[in-house]
Amino acid sequence: MTEKIYYKDQYVKEFTAEVVACQKGERGFEVILDKTAFFPEGGGQPGDTGFIGGVEVIDTVESGDDVVHICASEVSGRVECKLDFDKRFANMQQHTGEHIISGFIHAMTGFDNVGFHMGEHSVTVDFNGVVTREQLEEAERLSNEAVYKNLPVNALYPSDEELVNYDYRSKKEIKGQVRLTSIEGVDLCACCGTHVAYTGEIGIIKAVSMMNYKQGVRITLQIGRKAFEDYCEKNKNVLRISNLLKAKPEEVADAVERVQAQMQEMRFRYTQLKKNYFELYAQDCDGDKCCLFDDSGSADDARMLCDILADKAFVAAVFSGNDEIGYKYAVASRTYDVRKVAKELNSCCAGRGGGTPQMVQGSLATYRDMIECCWREIELNDD
């Protein structure tokens, strides 16, 4: 059984240990030490990384009573071990911060945290009920107040007899010794992870999004160092947008709304001008079959122009695009079932598409010369 240093002192960065076993596994060499400060993946917290005897530790997992270190190459003997403590400390910040906000949400709503995942860029927590936006904002405010108070974070190991006297949160039923993480006045939760010693070490706790998930909600959090990095990135983007819009940072949302309104007006005017242009473009089109080529490559343009042409010709077709990108097509008629035409076009020109008897749309992966040749060969009949 591996002696687990991280439960005695979660701040140990370097230590010396004896290699008990080392064997080749699917992901690398599986190394077991007589003792370790590397925390194994579990309870939503990822496994620690670092070095053992100068060899990279790419992951740490638990196997029964042993902690298995997945190493890049073989190690043996007595070894010097070093954690990637920046990563570990960020995990401690995030895990403790998650306890705090989950504790407040539970106290306010009665909902349980039924899922927890600590990803590379953020933390997600799942609750088995719908938390309102107002409740989340209040839980966030209380969580940061708890950080400012710099409260102690303690680990408790109550006996079975003592455990019945504790009102604690737990995502699953636990067999054997229960380890409780206690933040007085804030939260009491069964947890096997690593945490900071005082809440002041966590830094900011920020809920960045919430979405409906199964029968409840999934909340995405930024905590500690990750929250600072997230703020820096978002602030950089806001300043960039501010410069592009020539607006103050605090006014960028209003500026974007103005630009959207202007764009909507411009799109409307563009559509009207395009329709007028198409009507002029279609003046010389009449007869049984009429086809035009438009270089925009737009399926919407093809449909609009074709609808205009259908007032002038028995069967009208528009091919939008060029030989390099291919062609979008639309075929329309007021009285003829143009699905027959689409079938021939698709067969002749490596195309795909379909629609109603009055209009079909699709795409053709061929050249203009081939399309024109195919169009000339199509016969209109009542069969």
Domain termination residue (choose one: 40, 59, 83)? 83
Residues 117, 226, single domain; the answer is yes
Q: For residue 253, give both structure tokens.
A: 């949302």
Residues 166, 61, single domain; the answer is no
Residues 137, 204, single domain; the answer is yes
Q: How many domains does the chain have?
A: 4
DSSP letters spanning 341-357: HHHHHHHHTTEEEEE-S
SS3 for 48? coil
Listed in order, strand segments (DSSP E) in 197-249 are 205-213, 216-223
Residues 225, 124, single domain; the answer is yes
245 and 256 in contact (C-beta within 8 Å)? yes
pTM over 0.75: yes
Residues 213, 139, single domain; the answer is yes
Distance (Å, whole) CA 228 – CA 163? 38
Beta bridge partners of 3: 35
So what's the pLDDT on residue 382?
Answer: 67
- For residue 296, the number of C-alpha atoms closer than 13 Å in the C-beta half-sphere is 14
So what's the pLDDT on residue 174?
Answer: 76
Evaluate whether residue 308 is within a structural domain.
yes
Residues 96, 160, single domain; the answer is yes
Nearest to 223 by CA among 128, 115, 140: 140
CA angle 175, 176, 177 (to 5 degrees): 125
List own/partner pairs for 304-307 with CB under 8 A and 24 or more apart: 304/274, 304/275, 304/278, 305/278, 305/281, 305/330, 306/330, 306/331, 306/332, 306/359, 307/332, 307/359
Distance (Å, whole) CA 62 – CA 52? 17
Q: Which domain holds residue 73?
A: 3-83
Q: State which amino acid sits at residue 200.
A: G
Q: For residue 370, give both structure tokens.
A: 């081939």
SS3 for 266? helix
So what's the pLDDT on residue 94?
Answer: 96
Contacts of 48 (CB under 8 A, 6+ apart): 37, 38, 39, 40, 57, 60, 83, 84, 87, 88, 91
So what's the pLDDT on residue 176?
Answer: 81
Residues 156, 124, single domain; the answer is yes
CA 188 to chain centre: 30
206 and 220 in contact (C-beta within 8 Å)? no
Distance (Å, whole) CA 316 – CA 360? 11
Residue 289's CATH number: 3.10.310.40
Distance (Å, whole) CA 227 – CA 283? 62
Nearest to 291 by CA among 306, 277, 274: 306
Query: Which segments of the chain have a pLDDT < 50?
Result: none
Residues 271, 339, single domain; the answer is no
Evaluate whether residue 238 is within a structural domain.
no
Task: Report how far apart, in Å, the C-alpha atoms of 40 and of each of 166, 243, 325, 333 are.
Answer: 27, 46, 52, 68
Evaluate whether residue 46 is within a structural domain.
yes
Stated as kind and residue range, the H or E segment containing 300 is: helix 299-309
Evaluate whether residue 383 is within a structural domain.
no
Beta bridge partners of 52: 55, 81
Evaluate whether residue 239 is within a structural domain.
no
Residues 111, 225, single domain; the answer is yes
Residue 57's CATH number: 2.40.30.130
Residues 93, 214, single domain; the answer is yes
Distance (Å, whole) CA 307 – CA 311? 7
Residues 12, 54, single domain; the answer is yes
Beta bridge partners of 317: 291, 331
Contacts of 334 (CB under 8 A, 6+ apart): 310, 311, 358
Evaluate whether residue 33 is within a structural domain.
yes
Residues 291, 352, single domain; the answer is yes
